[in-house]
């Protein structure tokens, strides 16, 4: 799995405005809808929220990885958002989140979904990468940071 293969400047937002979990998820879905990656926003929202109800996807170090499986997709889609203000995402470590990586994949395809989540979690163990992403000033810069 190569993050660059699923991300583009159209699927990255540096200034999310949401103040809670639902607003952030809606904003991330708007990015995917605008980029033409998701057609059924309501189904995608329900898939993500169903996963959140089972267990929060707020990880550690200010990162959340909302994800889900949706029948309305044929391939894995993803986006990244960075919030100007920390948001309570019910994280495992209790910290507020500023970096959000959302992915949705088809119901019948498990491999790419698990690969993506594994790659993202490895990538963000680096405090340097997290700091670089928070300081990034463009979508292209985010892609460069994730590609190194």
**Cβ distance 58 to 64 under 8 Å?**
yes
Transcribe 34-75 into DSSP letters: HTTS-S-HHHHHHHHHHHHHHS--B-STTEE--EEE-TT-SS
Residue percentage of the chain with pLDDT more than 90: 68
**Cβ distance 74 to 108 under 8 Å?**
no
Q: CA 48, CA 122: separation in Å to the nearest integer?
A: 22
Q: CA 126, CA 124: separation in Å to the nearest integer?
A: 5
Q: Model-level pTM?
A: 0.92
Q: CA 71, CA 87: separation in Å to the nearest integer?
A: 29
Q: CA 26, CA 18: separation in Å to the nearest integer?
A: 8
pLDDT tens digits, one per residue of 27-80? 999 999 999 999 999 999 999 999 999 999 998 899 999 999 998 788 899 999
* Assigned CATH for 3-147: 3.40.930.10
Instruction: Give the start-to-end residue ranges of the domains of the chain.
Output: 3-147
């Amino acid at each position: 799995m190569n993050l660059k293969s699923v991300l583009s400047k159209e699927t990255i937002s540096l200034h999310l405005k949401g103040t809670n979990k639902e607003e952030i998820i809606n904003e991330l879905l708007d990015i995917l809808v605008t980029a033409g990656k998701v057609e059924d926003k309501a189904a995608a929202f329900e898939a993500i929220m169903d996963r959140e109800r089972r267990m929060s996807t707020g990880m550690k170090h200010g990162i959340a990885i909302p994800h889900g499986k949706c029948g309305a997709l044929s391939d894995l889609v993803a986006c990244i958002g960075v919030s100007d203000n920390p948001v309570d995402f019910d994280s495992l470590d209790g910290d507020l989140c500023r970096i959000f990586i959302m992915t949705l994949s088809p119901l019948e395809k498990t491999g790419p979904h698990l690969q993506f989540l594994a790659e993202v979690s490895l990538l963000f163990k680096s405090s340097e990468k997290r700091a670089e992403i928070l300081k990034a000033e463009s979508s292209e810069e985010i892609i460069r940071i994730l590609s190194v």
